[in-house]
Amino acid sequence: MRARGHKMVIACQPGSRILQEAEAVGLPTNPMRIRKGLDVAGVAHCLRAIRAHRIDLVHTHSSPDAWSCGVAARLAGVRVVRSRHLSTPVKQTWSTRIVYGKLADRVITSGQAIRDHLIDIDALQAERIISIPAGIDVQRFAPVVDARAARRELGYTDIDYVVGIVAVLRSWKGHAHLIDAVHRLCTEGVPARLLIVGAGPQEDTLKRHIKELAMDNRVLMAGYRSDVPRLISAMDLAVLPSTQNEATSQALPQALAMKVPVIATAVGGLPEVVIAQQTGLLIPPADTEALYQAIRWAHFHRAEMTEMAEHGHAHVHANFTFEKMVDQTEAVYRDLLANQHQSV
């Protein structure tokens, strides 16, 4: 957005990672403490920030800022966009109707499945809700001709079948199911290795689970990494076995952009990226047996998986690029600002 001539200010919690990242690349920031619910102090902080930076439009992303910054924006007479990133059902309460129906001029959902839910289940106005899937940088996530260097650095041999996951370590991401599925493959003599990329609250729980299965020499927990493309390039297969909450994901399009075959669960917006038997394999959520069978099939049918990854690569370039996401988001902003004085 800044490269397109817009002034962007990141309003976020003091000490947060997004604050550190924004400051590192020279983006203007406005640290402010925002609490859950309608926080009067938070509203005042947001109102001062809007006036100090001469903000024309506020884009909120979670419940606390949707309330405080949404109310502040209304008081300041500026437009509001609200994003919905998770497929978790929105509670049908008076507060939901205010946040999504009154405070927000437009709602951007991370995929069509979330948009459909807000319209069909929560009865929100269809014309106010726009699906814009999360986009990825296809320059950064590009096919790697020779991934052997990355595999060697991670301790993998040419015969190892590396199954990987890039995700925050949360219970609903399905890491435990994936560990169990890979463990079963290993007991059958398949040279499977599991590469887990990411950090999060389930780290200790997953480490205990790995130890209980005596999988220490088969599972590498790489933690939070900034070199995600290099790690994906070392994978033979990327898996996202989430059990709930998912939008369209970024991890799956990243893998497909690098032509790495994928398996995902039929949850939320994931089927928008992984079209069954076309761009990858799609399985039921929370089903370790189905996950095991899918990984086993992928291992023994690499040519078919490679063909699906090729289709997935084209699918990502057509629908899930960072440029397309920014184009569509900017169009929403421009439309709202062009009709600043019309009621919505």
Query: For 81, what's the count of Cα atoms within 13 Å in the CB-facing half-sphere?
Result: 23
What per-residue confidence (pLDDT) applies to 140? 96
What per-residue confidence (pLDDT) applies to 65? 92
Weakly modelled stretches of the chain, pLDDT under 70: 341-344
What per-residue confidence (pLDDT) applies to 95? 81
Torsion of CA 16, 19, 20, 23, to 10 degrees: -170
What per-residue confidence (pLDDT) applies to 343? 43
CB atoms within 10 A of CB 94: 7
Chain centroid to Cα 137, Å, comes to: 13
CB atoms within 10 A of CB 64: 18
What per-residue confidence (pLDDT) applies to 341? 55
Q: Assign a CATH topology to domain 148-319.
A: Rossmann fold (3.40.50)
CB atoms within 10 A of CB 278: 12
What per-residue confidence (pLDDT) applies to 196? 98
Using CA atoms, how far apart are residues 163 and 240, in angstroms rounded to an integer? 10
What per-residue confidence (pLDDT) applies to 344? 40
Residues of the chain with CATH 3.40.50.2000: 10-135+322-338, 148-319
Q: Assign a CATH topology to domain 10-135+322-338.
A: Rossmann fold (3.40.50)
* H-helix segments, the chain: 17-24, 40-53, 63-76, 94-96, 112-120, 148-153, 175-187, 203-212, 228-233, 251-257, 270-273, 288-300, 302-319, 322-338
Using CA atoms, how far apart are residues 248 and 320, in angstroms rounded to an integer? 9
Q: What is the pTM of this model?
A: 0.89
